[in-house]
Structure 1
């Protein structure tokens, strides 16, 4: 492409003076190079003139793009163009086709889309745009498709426009029609599915470098668009979906509401009266279609109350889902009663019960369930005459956790018998549930997220969870399993990742979970890798000095029949381009075609896991001390970015949880209290991502007043 760009720019340079002298001069010529077709145009408006050209680049059988490069106006004319509101005569007629020789191309079309002259017309740099086209007709699967695929692009995006609404019809044009002699840029703009304005290039760049830059843009677009379709062949039926429990705030709920809106799904919220989404404010109406106030008390009547609310709603409901662990069984029961898509109730009943899910992969006598310390003592007791032996003999270390629970709440590692009763008491006091006593599996912990369709793995992502407090050899019963970070993609060797995928997928499908998104936590026992310090202060998963004596096995820790929590869903969406909330809702309304579409990751092929656009590190920021949050003009995350700009360029996303005047404790519900999370990335190496994450953690400053 460099040769094509060089010839195009050479022609532009030679014609610049003539174009400036003749405001209505219009030059069109054609050149081909490989699979590209380049057009050169001039737009002149009285004393304001810019030369530009476009290049048609086929990406694959699904998409092609048009890269547009606009040269700055000559210095003598640039001063007159500083005022974007200057009163200049327009060579185009008020109506009808443009007269011969006029330049009805780039300016007119982009102006209609909001690219006004004050954005691109008066720049001293070289403006560049990319127009995206589908090669096929069809119906739009998702409104924010291109925005999702372009997130965190290494080329800086200044302005981005998607022209289509969800479910709308798109009519394709061919690359040949764009590059034909009769085509104009205005026609291209009007037919484009999306338009990207990139950061201006410096006029000091060589022609060759400009060509290389645009080649890089084209490669980047290919990696993001090559393996996924965004249009369905048949019209998409508009559907309505009910969400049970509307999420506690906009941080946790925002990605859900945005996904529903982009998919063209009408969202109905079912929750207790007084929920923040109940009032019919203009903002709330953007998040949901309706709010059905319902008593959500977790008793025997909650299923009937939800069904009654749905039946009373005047519009049809096509699906129902929840992201709240304690309502999985309830919602599946409602779905079955109303004939809505769902996995079996029995599968959810097993998944939410940590004891029953442990038995899916257990050896006899290794796991026990007790409802009290008294029951524990009876289980461990030996009769005075020695005839009655203990029915359960734990092999330390063991894990003690609530049968019903989440977020590592009240989960303890017990290394000595005298601490067992304390751990059981802590677990049984949480959620009023019994406690599970199970083996501690020594090995790297992993999060495995599956997108399944009738048992087929559409997408599987494995992330590494570095050691936490309770993983230490000298950990006590008071140390927690609260996560400290998450690193993507996994550093486990490919064969161990395949063991994890196969083992955990088979468990899910056997249980009845064959379609949807599932977040599974596990450990690799006898792994060939271990965590070691690889640089000062940098601990990561690396190969052991000697291979393990036994074959690696994957041990299930727990099944979450939902997307990972909103914090952990963020890295997947950014790293791979897969939106788990969209997957969850499409499965709930039985839209299998679009589910397959949204489960496609990027097509990057490099030293990283295929599909990942970079290495990423999710950093949890724990409360530094007990106290009350002080007033500040900016958030701690924004303050960090301003203070450390070299870190800011790696920060993909930062979310602060605290507000001034809020009381902060070190622990909440038996788990560490977090005050923020940040996602950082590196396109250089996994080690750099970890190092940046460590720096972010060390430099985050939350103002606290000691009471």
Structure 2
């Protein structure tokens, strides 16, 4: 339904226009002289509005303000005087209305006349949930509208987390007067101000703009409730290890605040979040100073800190890999939601997790080079004995037999640190020495699985997959057939969504879900790395130097290819992916893993379901629920030395300034280093990164990869040798 008079073309041309499927309006001639523009705060611009039932969950009202110069005697709404608004629901302020209620309603949100360009077309959209309910998260619109293809000037969310929202029914009567339209703005859960349009926009283009905008809103909101049907009790969650800086921790703290969760940090004395400053209070409710030494008493010390706190804690979690088992034990003692301790004990031990899919005799664990030599000698002797002696044992344990190429890595470790690919027996001892030197742990020796590598991220609730995404990790230096033992498995990029065939994606999802559930992981967020062995695709030059997955050239029909594909686990991380890898998922799918992780930790299953809803976009060649193709690009340090910013801009900002053609394609750009900081080319055998950038394409996956490659090529960072 549309109300008001819309000139057929803003520049004065006269056309017939349709406001809806069954109403046509002939626009009047624009011959009347314009009225003068009123003072600040007054409303002297002609406008019209359109009410759209977006879906079962929401109604939206679009309001279009035309340039002030077109105000004529045909202004659609009479101005009313001395009308008092006594509604005051949904937390909106109430006050006696002036003669320009609509302008005042927008002004109260910071969207009033001072923000309008008088000579352009201004567009606003009010979002109104269709039913009553309780607010699941305060920044819902910010999350669901990120990277919206129509430029946004401002978003105002008018609700608070956990508070009840009372629905407001919009009808033709609601918007038939200025004070009625003001009430729509005042009772909206959120209001969006779009970037102004040129005054010369044609009515046809304006109609197309509104249709496209409405469809995009529908794809983002029609499957994502903002409200819950039941009251949401306020809960408190403890984060063990409070993240090293605001860059890494910001997404966690912001999500907690938006969810209405009170966040308590448990960490060492001297942590940056400990001082009780105004800024730190924005990020956490309290800081519990605790000795975090990783010894036998750390569980009891964390429990003591939490139980001494003056307020109840309803959940506990960590994002630090070396504290998974510790925090699971804390949760078990305190009776808080958590997966079993045994599940974490297996997941953090790469030898035990490898045995979940092991072939007999293919995997071994050694604590030193001497132990390796003894194992190889024993295996050689066992093999000789078994071939010459009679069979006296029913089920003899198979001897370890190295199958090259193989992987050597610490049983405890992360970020591809000290992981080696060994293609020749002479390099095995060197790889074991490197792995056992890291974290003081043993080394696991396991098969190397050739095939496309994937990141699989799960949101589970009692074993049910609420959300799962697969992302493709292109080959790294160690994947090369002739890779030396010093080549690294450090990732170079990540592409979303996966290009693997649907059948192979389903094999990967179900295989990895079964492993998680069998271990005891039934609820939470899990970041799993794996390879698809026997895939019908492999990385190749798809033209123009672009490397991507392409169909293998091999004999056999599709059924044979499908039968050969199996998913092999690389490792399980019982947490969301790291903050830089979580970025592509949040932007591409609209799913916030940190929010889901915290809701699982406090047992809030209703909201866990809500935050696991991806977008509803459907596009040929793209996984449903993705708003675009994206490419995460890692920028490695080119050399060792000290960082300089000659231009005064960070490298990411300098790139966007120098290459405006890339700027609009870069969704996120994060620098890791500051001037004067010393960086290494490698850290514990893994590449040192100085930045990451996320680029996107609504055109094609190939376009996203090409943009990512260009960003990597164009990125400049100056590092001086000491």
TM-score if structure 1 supplies the norm length?
0.91
Contact 1:640 1:699 in 2 (8 A): yes
The change in CA–CA distance for 1:456 and 1:626 in structure 2 (over 3 A counts) is same
The 5 A counterparts of 1:557-572 are 557-572=570-585
The 5 A counterparts of 1:138-217 are 138-176=133-171, 179=174, 181=176, 184-217=180-213
Contact 2:82 2:99 in 1 (8 A): no
SS in 2 for 1:74: helix
From 659, 667, 679, the equivalent of 2:682 is 667
* Equivalence for 2:663: 648
* Equivalence for 1:373: 369
The change in CA–CA distance for 1:118 and 1:322 in structure 2 (over 3 A counts) is same
The unaligned stretches of length 5 or more in structure 1 are 17-29, 78-89
The 5 A counterparts of 1:446-465 are 446-465=454-473
Contact 1:45 1:91 in 2 (8 A): no
From 352, 358, 363, the equivalent of 1:356 is 352
From 673, 687, 694, the equivalent of 1:679 is 694
Contact 1:520 1:560 in 2 (8 A): yes
* Equivalence for 2:54: 59
The change in CA–CA distance for 1:10 and 1:631 in structure 2 (over 3 A counts) is closer
From 114, 133, 138, the equivalent of 1:118 is 114
Give, in angstroms, the shift of residue 93 of structure 1.
5.0
Question: In structure 2, what is the Cα distance between the partners aligned to 1:461 and 1:622?
Answer: 26
SS in 1 for 2:494: strand
Deviations 1:147-206 (CA, angstroms, capped at 9, x unpaired): 100000000001110011111111101233665646721101101111111111112221
SS in 2 for 1:447: strand
From 296, 301, 319, the equivalent of 1:300 is 296
Deviations 1:322-353 (CA, angstroms, capped at 9, x unpaired): 00000000000000000000010000000000
* Equivalence for 2:616: 603
The 5 A counterparts of 1:435-474 are 435-474=443-482
Range with bigger deviation, 148-157 or 622-631: 622-631
Deviations 1:228-250 (CA, angstroms, capped at 9, x unpaired): 11111121100000000000011
SS in 2 for 1:530: strand
Deviations 1:475-518 (CA, angstroms, capped at 9, x unpaired): 01100100000000000011110000111101111111111110
The change in CA–CA distance for 1:699 and 1:6 in structure 2 (over 3 A counts) is farther
* Equivalence for 2:436: 428
* Equivalence for 1:19: none
Question: In structure 1, what is the Cα distance between the partners aligned to 2:170 and 2:564?
Answer: 53
Contact 2:81 2:99 in 1 (8 A): no
* Equivalence for 2:44: 49
SS in 2 for 1:509: helix
TM-score if structure 2 supplies the norm length?
0.89
Contact 1:5 1:211 in 2 (8 A): no
Give the count of matched residue pairs. Answer: 676
Contact 2:4 2:49 in 1 (8 A): no
Range with bigger deviation, 530-539 or 350-359: 530-539
Contact 2:65 2:123 in 1 (8 A): yes
Give, in angstroms, the shift of residue 115 of structure 1.
1.6
The unaligned stretches of length 5 or more in structure 2 are 28-33, 73-77, 87-96, 388-397
Contact 2:576 2:594 in 1 (8 A): yes
* Equivalence for 1:68: 63
The change in CA–CA distance for 1:12 and 1:397 in structure 2 (over 3 A counts) is closer
Query: Is the aligned partner of 1:705 residue 2:720?
Result: yes
Query: Is the aligned partner of 1:137 residue 2:132?
Result: yes
Question: In structure 2, what is the Cα distance between the partners aligned to 1:57 and 1:91?
Answer: 24
From 699, 703, 706, the equivalent of 1:691 is 706
Give, in angstroms, the shift of residue 31 of structure 1.
9.3
* Equivalence for 1:33: 20
* Equivalence for 1:9: 7
The change in CA–CA distance for 1:135 and 1:665 in structure 2 (over 3 A counts) is same
* Equivalence for 2:635: 621
Deviations 1:540-576 (CA, angstroms, capped at 9, x unpaired): 0111123575520000111000000111000000000
Compute the RMSD of aligned alpha carbons: 2.8
* Equivalence for 1:127: 122
